[in-house]
Amino acid sequence: MEKQVFDSQKRPLRDLRISVTDKCNFRCQYCMPAEIFGPDYPFLPQHKLLSFEEITRLTGIFTSLGVEKIRITGGEPLMRRNLADLIRMIRQVDGVRDIAMTTNGSLLARHAEELKAAGLDRVTVSLDSLDDERFGRINGRGYRVEQILEGIEAAAAAGLGVKINMVVQRGVNDQDILPMARYFREKGHILRFIEFMDVGNSNGWKLDQVVPSREIIRMIHAEMPLEPVNPNYYGEVASRYRYAGTEQEIGLISSVTQAFCSTCTRARLSAEGRMYNCLFASEGEDLRDPLRAGMSDEELREKISAIWTRRDDRYSEERLKHTPGISQRTKVEMSHIGG
């Protein structure tokens, strides 16, 4: 690393989340509701997406400013053709210490081995229920649980680190909290519960649909006693617990009830090459056109450094103060920047 940049709140730039496509084979109601993301939805044409070469070049510039961890996301990242080639290219970039991917898992069984061979370290698989009917409804396309579980086991068998993310919504899948906890405890995978968030403008978010993490802990603890685990590193987003007397952990990502903006070190790059300083940002800054217009690495570096340096975003910390007006703000859609 040549230089570590800090934002206006003294937060270092450490992580880069790269969305490689805005398309997805699911239509999760909370992310890409089918009524809005229908057959005529104008997804990005190929030429507007950053190419693998462009993503790799930008990754190199980001690492020169402090980024060490890369997360590939989407849309559904495995919808992007030849994704393993991109992983291989990013793996070669100086300063990249860790490459992870967030996926819905539906195409994972097919790709796990080649992704591991290309240099992917870890996957986070999103799964919100073990009940086929509910899961089919949540994913909006009738996909079955079994297909995702196969993806999870294929990833583990290939030697990838595996975590499971469950977005909990009251009245939708809160009855799945305990079955999910029991199942993944038995399987030995870390399950993380995520509070439902008001991302984008189309998911119809209401505060009373959020199941606070402390309620989830209470519920699990009553059946399977838990004890807290100290954070691994600065900026870790999940609070960690383990089942008492074991090494098996769960995590809670309390984006709504216990915001963690003060240690947020994540920048985001959308599939069309815009840089966002926050999951809830209204505006990203275009890097693609300058890159295609021939800007040098040094000039791009200056530009990215300037964007991060003036960053003061802390949306989640401010959310609860501003909830009544929250829906008036126009935010980027989750499927554009990948969570």
Residue numbering of the annotated binding site:
17, 24, 28, 30-31, 71, 75, 102, 126, 163, 197, 261, 264, 266-268, 278
Shorter beta-carbon distance to ligand SF4: residue 121 or 128: 128
Shorter beta-carbon distance to ligand SAM: residue 201 or 305: 201
Q: How far is the CB of 14 from ligand SF4 (least distance, A)?
A: 12
Which one of ligand SF4, ligand SAM, none is in contact with 196 (Cβ closer than 5 to 8 A by kind)?
ligand SAM
For residue 42, CA distances in Å to 29, 45, 169 come to 18, 8, 28
Q: How far is the CB of 209 from ligand SF4 (least distance, A)?
A: 16
The token pair at 184 is 């993944």
Which one of ligand SF4, ligand SAM, none is in contact with 70 (Cβ closer than 5 to 8 A by kind)?
none
The site for ligand SAM (CB under 6 A) is made up of: 24, 30-31, 73-74, 76, 102-104, 126, 165, 167, 194, 196-197, 199, 203, 334-335, 338-339
Residue 275 to residue 64: CA distance in whole angstroms: 16
Which one of ligand SF4, ligand SAM, none is in contact with 199 (Cβ closer than 5 to 8 A by kind)?
ligand SAM
Shorter beta-carbon distance to ligand SAM: residue 93 or 167: 167
Q: How far is the CB of 282 from ligand SF4 (least distance, A)?
A: 12
Q: How far is the CB of 126 from ligand SAM (least distance, A)?
A: 4
Shorter beta-carbon distance to ligand SF4: residue 93 or 197: 197
97 contact partners, CB below 8 Å, separation of at least 6: 68, 69
Which one of ligand SAM, ligand SF4, none is in contact with 116 (Cβ closer than 5 to 8 A by kind)?
none
The strand pair at 69-73 and 15-19 is best described as: parallel
The neighbour count for residue 107, using CB atoms within 10 Å, is: 17
The site for ligand SF4 (CB under 6 A) is made up of: 24, 26-28, 31-32, 74-76, 104, 126, 260-261, 264, 266, 278-280, 313-316, 335
Which one of ligand SAM, ligand SF4, none is in contact with 29 (Cβ closer than 5 to 8 A by kind)?
none
Q: How far is the CB of 197 from ligand SAM (least distance, A)?
A: 4
For residue 210, CA distances in Å to 50, 133, 167, 186, 330 come to 35, 22, 10, 27, 21
Q: How far is the CB of 102 from ligand SAM (least distance, A)?
A: 4
Which one of ligand SF4, ligand SAM, none is in contact with 264 (Cβ closer than 5 to 8 A by kind)?
ligand SF4
Q: How far is the CB of 17 from ligand SAM (least distance, A)?
A: 9
Annotated binding-site positions for [4Fe-4S] cluster: 24, 28, 31, 261, 264, 278
Residue with smallest beta-carbon separation from ligand SAM: 339
Residue 27 to residue 42: CA distance in whole angstroms: 15
Residue 250 to residue 189: CA distance in whole angstroms: 9
For residue 127, CA distances in Å to 104, 157, 211, 251, 329 come to 7, 19, 17, 14, 29
Q: What amino acid is encoded at 291 in this protein?
A: L
Q: Which of 168, 174, 235, 165 is nearest to 195 (CA)?
A: 168
Buried b (16+ CB within 10 A) or exposed e, 22-57: bbbebbbbbbbbeeebeeeeeeeeeeebbebeebbb
113 CA to centre of own chain: 21
